[in-house]
Amino acid sequence: MALSKEKAINRIYDELLRKFGSQHWWPGDSPLEIIVGAVLTQNTNWQNVERAIVNLKKEKALSLKALKLINIKRLAGLIRSSGYYNIKAKRLKNLINFIFCEYSGSLKKMFDDSTEVLREKLLAVNGIGKETADSILLYGGGKPVFVVDAYTKRVFSRLGIVQKSSGYDEIQNIFYKNLKKDVRLYNEYHALIVSLGKNICKVKPACEICPLKGVTIGNCQLA
């Protein structure tokens, strides 16, 4: 029996949770570490980001004040493992300067701002795109924002729920319309999608072991 979009979105979550279990995301010891990680993880894997964060901690450079004062060249060297380190150092500096200019260097003040207003402000920071901004909001600030990434688009276009041409906002709105507004649910769902994308629904998918095999949505059924 074909599922409605709402039932399919919720069924997919249940199946992924059954397969992979709770993911306990996002890795990070503090909101600032999560924010830094959200910038550094652009176009690289998390292992590379972890090495960069370890370097920042070793050099006592993982605080708002330290990141504001550190020389950008030295910062780039410390985050070298994350790739595109010169660009990311500039983006990180832009974000830290924004936090000081707009919120007097207080993450509490920043996250006390409304989700809509803060999101628009973050998107105005040079180098901060929608996925990064939403990761900061959800994982750093505990805001009810659904993060869409390349894995989300890959998995849900293969399921026939979105098109390959669908944009970020269009995909995000599907989750908003069909899930209850809940920070923990958004957090877990995104993490589970990443786990599926990394381990099974790769560029060359392993459909024979996919936990979503046989889920029918509209006229589409996984082989």
Q: Are residues 135 and 153 in the same domain?
A: no
- Residue 60: per-residue pLDDT: 97
CATH of residue 204's domain is: 1.10.1670.10
Q: Are residues 80 and 163 in the same domain?
A: no
- Residue 99: per-residue pLDDT: 98
- Residue 72: per-residue pLDDT: 97
- Residue 221: per-residue pLDDT: 47
Longest dimension (CA), the chain: 60
CB 2 within 8 A of CB 217: yes
- Residue 2: per-residue pLDDT: 59
| Final residue before a domain boundary, out of 108, 140, 172 | 140
- Residue 219: per-residue pLDDT: 42
92 contact partners, CB below 8 Å, separation of at least 6: 36, 39, 40, 67, 75, 79
Q: Are residues 171 and 84 in the same domain?
A: no
CB 144 within 8 A of CB 182: yes
Q: What is the CA radius of gyration of the chain?
A: 19
- Residue 223: per-residue pLDDT: 41
Q: Which residues of the chain have pLDDT under 50?
A: 218-223
| Residue 151: domain span | 5-24+147-221
